Chains A and B, each alone.
Chain A
Amino acid sequence: MLTRSELARYDRQIMVRGFGVEGQEKLKQARIFIAGAGGLGSAAATYLMAAGVGMIRVVDHDMVELSNLNRQVLHWDEDIGKKKVDSATEKLKRLNPSLKVEAIEEMITEANISQLVAGFDLIVDAMDNLPTRYLLNKVALEKNIPLFHGAVYGFEGRAMTIIPGETACLKCVYRGVIPGEKFPVIGVTPAVIGCIQATEAIKYIAGIGQLLANRLLIYDGLNMKFTEFRLKKDPNCEHCGQLVRGKK
């Protein structure tokens, strides 16, 4: 049940046809796990919080550095040297004080990931490396939690939505690894992709629209072009090959 204040606060999105009070109530009940408080995480968390998602858990183990500030907009000059999760949750709480935000300063590993995501309805992949993304993919499939993937490099970004047992998963699409590297990025690129991830999450929670399921969206900011690749589940996928929705 929405309060009078919430009805006023979310008035413009409640007005959206198909979303309404019901959609807003669903957002209020939702619990979202955001893996990473960097560029993607800053954008996704900001808009999910502003939209009224009831509970967000942000996990990151890094400290804020000067070179983060071109894109990681939850962190400001005064935050350099602070834990990213503290810097991020402090801003998010100020943005929407009535909602719950939880900060966990941990590196996501095979040992802790299952516990970290337990009880959450959605996972937003805002990581900066493939090995952890694969861990998120695997746990999402095991626990039947939708995964909202995003990645960036330079002016390029990409996003896809993974519904366990129904759609191609990250491992159906990506099989390789790339060496850990300091990657180039224009600050707005993760903002575009993080907002696409947040849009997908909101649609999924509200049960409206068409998801980026079995579709890999490529954003080319340099030429301002979107390309969409059609994906299929790989029957031999090492993560989801044998998975049928609802059966783990």
Chain B
Amino acid sequence: MSVRVNLHPNLHQFTNDQAIVEVNGNTVGQCLDDLVKQFPQIRQGLFGKDGKLLNYVDIYVNLESSYPEELAKPVKDGDELHITLIIAGG
């Protein structure tokens, strides 16, 4: 299952400045696992020390929020993920 992952600009530092990465997986969690496999440094930008998704990371599947239980959400070939981070500046 090939899925396109659009990464928030603050995560590009972990992907050699790639904004979009192709991953494989049947769920959001599997896609993130593949992303981490390709770019191990990105783990610190997505997961806490407890292995849980950081609470300021939001994931959208085909432009719809995947909350709650984001990691279990199924994805199919051609789906698009957006990984965003909360911003708060004014």
Binding site for B on A (CB under 8 A): 36, 38-41, 126-130, 133, 150-158, 173-178, 183, 185, 190, 218, 220, 222, 227-232, 234, 236
Contacts and interface: CB of A to CB of B under 8 A. Distances in A.
Contacts of A222: 9
The 5 closest A-B pairs by CB, nearest first: A176-B55, A128-B90, A153-B87, A176-B56, A183-B89
Given A129-B88, A153-B10, A178-B88, 13 more contacts: A38-B90, A127-B90, A128-B88, A152-B87, A156-B9, A176-B86, A178-B85, A190-B89, A227-B63, A230-B64, A230-B65, A232-B64, A232-B65
A227 B87 contact: no
Contacts of A156: 9, 87
B90 A126 contact: yes
B67 interface: yes
Interface in B54-90: 54-58, 60, 63-65, 67-68, 82, 84-90
Q: From DSSP, what is the main secondary structure of chain A's interface residues?
A: mixed
Nearest to A127: B90
Contact of B65 (A150, A158, A173, A185): A173
A229 B65 contact: yes
Contacts of B88: 127-130, 133, 151, 153, 178, 183
Interface in B1-18: 9-10
A129 B56 CA distance: 13
Contact of A41 (B64, B65, B90): B90
A130 B86 contact: yes
B70 to A, nearest CB: 11
A156 B8 CA distance: 10
Interface string B14-26: 0000000000000
A153 B60 CA distance: 19
B89 A153 contact: yes
A176 B63 contact: no
Contacts of B58: 173-174
A229 B60 contact: yes
A124 B9 CA distance: 26
A178 B56 contact: yes
A234 B63 contact: no
Contact of A218 (B54, B84, B89): B84
A175 B55 contact: yes
Given A230-B64, A230-B65, A231-B65, A152 B89 contact: yes
B55 A185 contact: no
B4 to A, nearest CB: 13
Residue among B58, B65, B67, B90 with the most chain A CB within 10 A?
Answer: B90
